[in-house]
């Protein structure tokens, strides 16, 4: 099996359904796809924050942006039937652990039933060649091990958000086995995979209860940032890193078929798996007179140690991280400062995307 060389020409003119295009990662992915000339249809709720990357970077320009709810199966089926996508990239979700504690019913409805509705719409309408369902690194039964988790490790989920995403993994496995088995690929023509990424950073993330947005918001107000668990170790990476992986995976599924089915980890280099407190210290070194931090332990459980093994993606897809954590933080801060200075954030975002892709793409 050959590794997948991410090819801009492959994506030109491809009909792509992207759920969650109004969100942080979805917004960056929509910019990437439209920049490469894909025919993108976005389906999502309105942006959940004000401001948002979607509005600041004018993500809706150049794509067919549809506001809708994945919990509305008839509406979703109608969009899939109308658009006839060749590739589906499913990013729409309730993405926050603490929000999952506050609203478990809404979290399960959005994440589990939303994913089920998408799979059912794809099954009933037909014609999709490649489908990537994005979950999270938190789908594993986390034993706080020192070694990284591989895709074959047992699924789990201590909190509602994590378990809802583990449910999505089981849904994908069930649909792949029941309706899209590899042995019958010649009949149904759909390759299906899930993608598990680490904690993503980057410009345009304004969600509450995420580390970098919380830090930047507090320091902009001249206040110390409140940390719940500074010693927790996470797999930090810029959002563009796993997005490149999703694109490579989708392209590989389209070109190579069901050989690439299954779950895939997209995590950072070992050196960039560090504690929450260490990330804040690195960011403070780039922020003059940073107000510092204070610690207020959370009343809810959060994982203390979580690492990902991305060997499968590196070996079979040829994917690997391009930016170190320090460069990731620098790019995030550059984007934030440009926004504060009133820059054109669509141009700023596209420039960062071009820098990440490099001169050969």
In a domain, 1, yes or no: no
Residue 3 lies in a domain: no
The series of mean pLDDT values per 10 residues for the chain, 361 residues long, is 91 98 98 98 97 98 96 97 98 93 97 98 98 96 86 95 97 98 97 95 93 92 89 91 98 97 94 89 91 74 78 96 95 96 98 88 63
Residue 44: strand, helix, or coil:
strand
Domain assignment of residue 165, given as a range: 8-354
Please report where in the chains the tokens 């809802």 appear, as a residue: 164
Give the CB-side neighbour count of residue 148, counting CA atoms within 13 A.
Answer: 24
- Tell me, yes or no, whether 360 lies in a domain: no
Residue 361 pLDDT: 63
Crossing angle between the packed helical segments 276-284 and 325-340, to the nearest 10 degrees: 60
Residue whose token pair is 């954590």: 325
Note whether residue 182 is domain-resident: yes
Predicted local distance difference test score (pLDDT) of residue 146: 75
* Whole-angstrom distance, CA of residue 36 vs CA of residue 249: 16
Domain with 337 in it: what CATH number? 3.40.50.720
Residue 226: inside a domain: yes
Look at residue 298 and tell me if it is in a domain. yes
User: Looking at the DSSP assignment, which residues form a beta bridge with residue 288?
Assistant: none
Burial class (CB in 10 A: 0-12, 13-18, 19+), 46: exposed
d(CA 9, CA 75): 31
Determine the Cα angle at 341 with ends 339 and 344, to 5°. 55
Going 251 to 254 to 260 to 261, the CA torsion angle's sign is positive
Number of residues that make up the chain: 361
Residue with tokens 């950072």: 268
Of the CA atoms within 13 Å of residue 100, those in its CB half-sphere come to 22
Q: Is 132 exposed, middle or buried (0-12, 13-18, 19+ CB in 10 A)?
A: buried
CA distance 27 to 191: 24
Q: Which long-range contacts (CB under 8 A, 24 or more apart) does 278-284 make?
A: 279/211, 279/212, 279/236, 279/325, 279/329, 280/211, 280/215, 280/225, 280/227, 280/230, 282/325, 282/326, 282/329, 283/212, 283/215, 283/329, 283/333
Residue 158, judged by CB atoms within 10 A of its CB (0-12, 13-18, 19+), counts as middle
Given this model, what pLDDT does residue 300 score?
Answer: 61
What does the alpha-carbon distance between residue 238 and residue 233 come to, in Å, rounded to a whole number? 16
Cβ atoms within 10 Å, residue 228: 17
Question: Hey, which bits of 48-178 come out as E strands?
Answer: 64-67, 87-90, 130-134
Beta-carbon count within 10 A of 183 CB:
7
Is residue 34, in this structure, part of any structural domain at all? yes
Q: Is residue 188 part of a domain?
A: yes
Q: By three-state DSSP, how is residue 71 classified?
A: coil
How many domains, in total, are found in the chain? 1
């Amino acid at each position: 099996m050959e590794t997948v060389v991410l090819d801009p020409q492959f994506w030109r003119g491809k009909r792509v359904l992207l759920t969650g295009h109004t969100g942080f990662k979805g917004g960056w992915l929509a910019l990437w796809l439209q920049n490469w000339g894909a025919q993108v249809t976005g389906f999502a709720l309105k942006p959940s924050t004000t401001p948002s990357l979607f509005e600041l970077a004018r993500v809706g320009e150049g794509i067919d942006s549809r506001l809708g709810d994945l919990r509305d199966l008839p509406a979703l089926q109608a969009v899939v039937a109308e658009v006839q996508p060749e590739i589906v990239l499913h990013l729409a979700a309730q993405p926050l652990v603490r929000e999952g504690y506050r609203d478990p019913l809404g979290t399960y409805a959005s994440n589990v039933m939303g994913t089920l509705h998408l799979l059912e719409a794809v099954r009933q309408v037909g014609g999709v060649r490649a489908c990537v369902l994005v979950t999270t690194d938190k789908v594993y039964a986390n034993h706080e091990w020192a070694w990284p988790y591989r895709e074959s490790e047992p699924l789990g989920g201590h909190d509602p958000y994590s378990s809802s995403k583990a449910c999505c993994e089981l849904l994908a496995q069930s649909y792949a086995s029941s309706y899209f088995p590899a042995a019958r690929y010649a009949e149904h023509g759909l390759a299906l995979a899930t993608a598990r990424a680490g904690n993503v950073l980057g410009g345009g993330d304004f969600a509450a209860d995420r580390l970098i947005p919380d830090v930047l918001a507090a320091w902009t107000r001249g206040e110390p940032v409140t940390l719940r668990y500074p010693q927790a170790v996470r797999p930090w990476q810029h959002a563009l890193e796993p997005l490149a992986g999703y694109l490579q995976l989708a392209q590989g599924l389209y070109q190579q078929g069901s050989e690439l089915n299954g779950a895939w980890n997209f995590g950072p280099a070992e050196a960039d798996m560090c504690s929450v407190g260490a990330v804040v210290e690195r960011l403070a070194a780039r922020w003059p007179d940073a107000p510092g931090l204070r610690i207020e332990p959370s009343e809810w459980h959060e994982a203390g140690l979580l690492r990902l093994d991305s060997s499968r993606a590196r070996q079979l897809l040829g994917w690997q991280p391009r930016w170190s954590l320090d460069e990731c933080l620098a790019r995030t801060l550059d984007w934030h400062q440009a926004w504060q200075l009133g820059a054109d954030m669509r141009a700023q975002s596209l420039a960062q995307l071009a820098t990440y892709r490099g001169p050969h793409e």
